[in-house]
Amino acid sequence: MLLRRFATSEVVEDLQESGFALGGSRVHVSVLFCDIRGFTSLSESQPPEETIELLNTYYSLMFEAIESHGGIVTMMIGDGLMVLFGAPKPLENHADCAVAAAKVMIHLLDKFNVGRVAIDKPEINIGIGIATGEVIAGYAGTQDRATYTCIGDKVNLAARLEAHTKIENCSILIDNATRDAIIDKNNTEVIGYPSLKGISEPVAVFSVSPS
């Protein structure tokens, strides 16, 4: 089906079961943001055709990790991804799924970088932020053109955590709600209560080891 090329299977199934209507509902999910480090400089240093080829390979790897853990990509902006775990279809242990997907994303990229280094290409590094809690998820846009997305404080927090990975020099950061929800906390380490742009309330932040 052509529609599945432009929407995830979960969104297609939701449309088939519930029909299309603008608006959203409150759901409890885990939100993941991912971004390539130094992508602007990288894209300026190579032909645009090579950048598109790189992005396509990168997306293939990231989607493999995300979809195998029940996540759906709701937004692609350049090299950035926004991912939901737990909507539009409920997902048990969505925080665990989000963290597991993040780890696989790092591992797949590590393998990809081995090949890039072998042909004298720079490594690709990413930052991932994950936050868990209530958001408003649904279809936003117009009757003619809409997208499945979500809004809320947890969405903003996940985006800020992803940006903060640059400062902490780590790959994965999660909020305290995500850490509280995951079963295996052994590979987490407390960062503290960093100042995050646009986040007024103090939030306990933890790093996650990809290993």
Tokens for 81? 């991804």
Beta bridge partners of 135: 27
Helices (H) and strands (E) in the chain, counts: 6, 8
pTM of the complete model beyond 0.85? yes
Q: What is the mean pLDDT of the chain?
A: 87
Tokens for 189? 């380490």
| 58 has pLDDT over 70 | yes
What tens digit of pLDDT does each residue of 117-146 get? Answer: 999 998 999 999 999 999 988 777 777 676
pLDDT at position 82 is 94
Nearest to 133 by CA among 116, 146, 150: 150
| 15 has pLDDT over 60 | no
pLDDT at position 53 is 92
Nearest to 42 by CA among 34, 33, 54: 54
**Preceding omega of 48 cis (within 30 degrees of 0):** no
pLDDT at position 41 is 87
pLDDT at position 22 is 63
Mean pLDDT over 162-170 rounds to 95
Q: What CATH number does domain 25-208 carry, 3.90.580.10, 1.10.1740.10, 3.40.50.300, 3.30.70.1230?
A: 3.30.70.1230
**Radius of gyration for the chain, computed over Cα atoms and rounded to the nearest angstrom:** 17
